[in-house]
Amino acid sequence: MKILVCIKQVPDTEALLRIAADQITISVAGVKFILNPYDEYALEEALRIKEANPGSLVRAVTLGPARCAEVLRNAAAMGADEVLHLSADEPALDGLAAARALSRAAASFSPDLILLGKESIDDGNMQVGPMLAELLGLPCLTVVTRLTLAGASLSAECERDDGTALFEAPLPAVVTCQKGLNEPRYPSIRGKMAAMEMAIPEEPAALEAGRLRIASLIPPPARAGGRNVGEGAAAVPELIRLLHTEARVI
């Protein structure tokens, strides 16, 4: 079985982000970048499928500037057999442009299964997986919390607003992964050492002109100071009134 895992490099969730001088980008100076957490579930699931099906091949692919090669080293350290860097000057803002670049890489690999995180934590648009499936003409299962392969088909439990839905689909297929699907492993020391020395294959992404652009970035307004509405039980009515009329959370 050939499994393609699409991964993305994103700013660390604990990083302090600052708007750059151009007011349309984030300053990357001093920012730590990590593998998108939802993509970790996708990569872990691919490795588990590989371990359960000897002879399987896992390839990780990422799209973006030179610094994105670091997440491919992380994928290799975890156990990916092959990696591929689709190089671009900047990360793709347009989900469709990214999906088209990934679809070309997928078509040349002819995978039996394509795994991605349900979304990236920087954009959070949840577009690329379904768009990739549409471009390749494949079934797509999203927000998957349980995945089972059986021959030439798969079944998946997908998280929905009203509960969990069970779906079945033929292979090849595209699956986007949600927290709870598995517990990603830590790379081994041996894996890290090997990944540090490996050459990262690189191909130009040939990104089309995106139809989405950032007009400006504006920091959120500063939070107002707290308010003391009293002490003890006597303060409860006023607290409830403020939560209802001002905060509007009840």
Q: In CATH, what number is assigned to the domain containing residue 126?
A: 3.40.50.620
* Domain region containing 39: 2-204
> Helix, strand, coil % (nearest 5) of the chain?
30, 30, 40
As to burial, measured by CB atoms within 10 angstroms (0-12 exposed, 13-18 middle, 19+ buried), residue 214 is exposed
Q: Is residue 224 part of a domain?
A: no
Q: Is residue 243 part of a domain?
A: no
Q: Is residue 210 part of a domain?
A: no
Is pLDDT above 90 for 221?
no
Alpha carbon distance, N-terminus to C-terminus of the chain: 52
Report the C-alpha gap between 232 and 211 in whole angstroms: 56
Q: Is residue 228 part of a domain?
A: no
Strand partners, 173: 113
The 10s digit of each residue's pLDDT in 21-58 is: 888 888 888 889 999 999 999 999 999 999 999 999 99
Strand partners, 177: 117, 144
Q: Is residue 98 part of a domain?
A: yes
Is pLDDT above 80 for 183?
yes
Q: Is residue 218 part of a domain?
A: no
Report yes or no: 58 and 46 within 8 Å, Cβ to Cβ: yes
Structural domain tally of the chain?
1
Within 10 angstroms of residue 175's Cβ, the number of other Cβ atoms is 26
The confidence score (pLDDT) of residue 91 equals 78
Which range is least confidently modeled, 53-62, 127-136, 159-168, 221-230?
221-230
Q: Is residue 223 part of a domain?
A: no
The confidence score (pLDDT) of residue 210 equals 72
The confidence score (pLDDT) of residue 119 equals 96
Q: Is residue 167 part of a domain?
A: yes
Report yes or no: 142 and 118 within 8 Å, Cβ to Cβ: yes
Is pLDDT above 90 for 223?
no
- pTM, rounded to two decimals: 0.86
Name the band, by pLDDT with cuts 50, 70 and 90, for residue 90: confident
Name the band, by pLDDT with cuts 50, 70 and 90, for residue 233: very high
Q: Which of these, 155, 226, 244, 214, lies nearest to 19 by C-alpha position?
A: 214
Give the whole-number percent of the chain exceeding pLDDT 90. Answer: 74
